[in-house]
Amino acid sequence: MEAEPATPEEPTGRRQQEAPAPAEVTEPAAATAEADESAPATPGKAEEQGREAAESAPADRPYAAPPAPAAVVFRVPTTALLAVALLALCMSPVGLASPALLVIFVVPVALAVWLLRTRTRADAEGLTVRTLFGRRLIPWSRVTSLRLTEKSAVRAVVDGDGEVTLPAVRVRHLPLLAAVSGGRIADPRQPHPGE
């Protein structure tokens, strides 16, 4: 993921005040897709930048990863709407056969609304979980841990409220979630202090 600078310089030397846009992470639309969402869109450019950074770093200091974005949004990709459109197209011979059967088009419309609405946003303040019918803000101070389900879903264990499912967040997103949390959630790639 490439992030744009939050305050680009103008030709006059003054800086514009712009808030950085949150990075977006999307789930693959099909179960057979194995693309990694954390990979940059232009791999050749990213590899070249990584080599330049490694070559310009002093020999006694290891290469440091770029800082985490200020906010990240986990959601189902909008390309999944193509499957919803195909479903509506396949349902149209049955739905258009009789005016009473038009009600079956509620299914693709509901799926489309669910795809566009459901997401999890993580920033320095906490987690914002948005579902089909509501939105919930969970500050990092209330998140005691994360629980992983058998289907690679992630749930936040909230003190006093049980568990909250984090839509579109998967096990592979935990390092990014740990970076955005500012260390409040442990990165599973890093060894524990007692090991």
Q: Which of 136, 122, 141 is nearest to 179 (CA)?
A: 122
Query: Same domain for 130 and 185?
Result: yes
Are 136 and 177 in the same domain?
yes
Q: Structural domain tally of the chain?
A: 2
Assess whether 109 and 140 both reside in one domain: no
Please give the structure tokens belonging to residue 174. Answer: 């935990």
In a domain, 181, yes or no: yes
Whole-number pLDDT of residue 151: 87
Q: Is 67 inside any structural domain?
A: no
pLDDT in tens, the chain (195 residues): 444 444 444 444 444 444 556 666 665 544 333 333 443 444 444 445 555 554 554 555 554 556 768 899 999 999 999 999 999 999 999 999 999 999 999 999 999 999 999 999 999 999 999 999 999 999 999 998 889 988 889 999 999 889 999 999 998 999 899 889 888 888 777 776 665
Q: What are phi and psi of 97, to 5 degrees?
A: -70, -30
- Parent domain of 160: 119-189
- Same domain? For 113 and 79 the reply is yes
Residue where one domain finishes, among candidates 117, 141, 173:
117
Residues 112 and 140 in one domain: no
- Please give the distance of CA 101 from its chain centroid, rounded to a whole number: 37
Q: Which run of H or of E encompasses 121?
A: strand 119-123
Domain co-membership, 97 together with 123 = no
On whether residue 107 sits in a domain, the answer given is yes
Q: What per-residue confidence (pLDDT) applies to 183?
A: 83
What's residue 102's pLDDT? 94
pLDDT at 33: 36
> Does residue 156 lie within any of the structural domains?
yes
Q: How far apart are CA 91 and CA 85, in angstroms?
A: 10
